[in-house]
Amino acid sequence: MLEAVLDSIARLGHRVTSRVQRLGRASVFLGATLLGSGTAWRRFSLIVRELYYTGVLSLIIISVSGLFVGMVLGLQLYETLQRFGSGTMIGGVVALSLVRELGPVVAALLFASRAGSAITAEIGLMRATEQLSAMEMMAVDPVARVVAPRFWSGVISMPLLAALFSAIGIFGGYLIAVVLIGVDEGTFWSQMQDSVDFRLDIVNGIIKSCVFGVVVSWIAVFEGFHAAPSAEGVSAATTRTVVTSALAILAADFVLTAFMFTGA
């Protein structure tokens, strides 16, 4: 009886220590990536190449999702606001919810599953096929040559993608509210400009998306670089990237929101 209790406590302890160890390794790896970024910034074409894969190829999914999220917001919020006779507030409500929360968060979730998983799979396969070891043999630092450009491309493209998501989402809300429902166009925009503050709402949204960019890219390169060198290892690492990124984004979002938008 006592044996079983001690056993389960030991298992819990092992789980916690292994998590903490992993977090420590990830932090050391982030430090190494940042230190090894010099090459990537000096040879900027390395980052540009990765920007194509993380940024340009995410354009379609980000714009289509943004459009639909904006249109759904328009429909649902109008329905509810109409009950209080304030259907004209739709512009401000759609813009605020997109710029403050949905833009950065949903774009980051999509980015993690579209680009983050691709980065992990790519680096993981390089590890599995011993390309990374081959680089080390040739005295090429794989962190500087492979990891840093991918990390920075993620950090750069995330805020741009989040801004695009918000802008297209607002356009979707405009389509529903003005074109479909027939809210006055002038009211729609002026209501929006009245309620959205540049410093408080837009800048904070951009800060959020920058933080998410760092978090997602960090998780993606770390999982890929430390994937077990096998088919299962790569697939498990890709799954972990998506799951951990999603949880990390939502947790970071809560903390950031609590700091940014309370007491204002």
Partner 1 sequence: MKRTTLDLWVGFFVAIGLASLLFLALKVGSLTPSSSSESYALQARFGNIGGLKVRAPIKSAGVVVGRVKDIRFDQESYLAIVTLDVNANYQFPRDTFATINTSGLLGEQYVGFEAGGDEVMLKSGDVIKKTQDAMVLEKLISQFMYNKASEDDGK
Residues that bind partner 1 (CB under 8 A): 45, 48-49, 51-52, 55-56, 59, 84, 86, 95, 99, 157, 159-161, 163-164, 166-168, 170, 189, 192-193, 196-198, 201-202, 206
By beta-carbon proximity to partner 1, the closer residue of 50 and 223 is: 50
Shortest gap between Cβ of 208 and partner 1 (angstroms)? 13
DSSP for 88-126?
GGHHHHHHHHIIIIIHHHHHHHHHIIIIIHHHHHHHHHH
- At residue 35, what are phi and psi to the nearest 5 degrees? -65, -35
Q: How far is the CB of 68 from partner 1 (least distance, A)?
A: 17
Confirm if 168 and 99 have CB atoms less than 8 A apart: no
The answer to whether 176 and 75 have CB atoms below 8 angstroms apart is yes
Dist CA 182 CA 178 (whole Å): 5
* Residue (135 or 167) nearer to partner 1, CB: 167
**Which lies closer to partner 1 via its Cβ, residue 196 or residue 211?**
196
Supply the minimum distance, in Å, between the C-beta of residue 192 and partner 1: 6
Which residue's CB is nearer to partner 1, number 195 or number 235?
A: 195
**Distance set, CA 75 to CA 78, 96, 173 (Å):** 5, 15, 8
Q: Check the CA dihedral 36-38-40-41 and report its sign.
A: positive
Q: How far is CA 101 from CA 22, 27, 39, 261, in A?
A: 29, 27, 35, 11
Least separation, in Å, of the C-beta of 167 and partner 1? 4
Neighbours of 226 (CB within 10 A): 18
Q: E-strand spans in 95-237?
A: none
**Rounded least distance, CB 142 to partner 1, Å:** 22
Instruction: Pick the closer one to partner 1 by CB: 17 or 86.
Output: 86
Decide if 96 contacts 200 (C-beta within 8 A): no
- Residue 2 or 42 with smaller CB distance to partner 1: 42
Quote the least distance from Cβ 86 to partner 1, whole Å.
Answer: 8
Nearer to partner 1, 20 or 59 (CB): 59
Nearest CA among 255, 262, 147, 169 for reference residue 207: 255
Least distance from C-beta 160 to partner 1, angstroms? 3
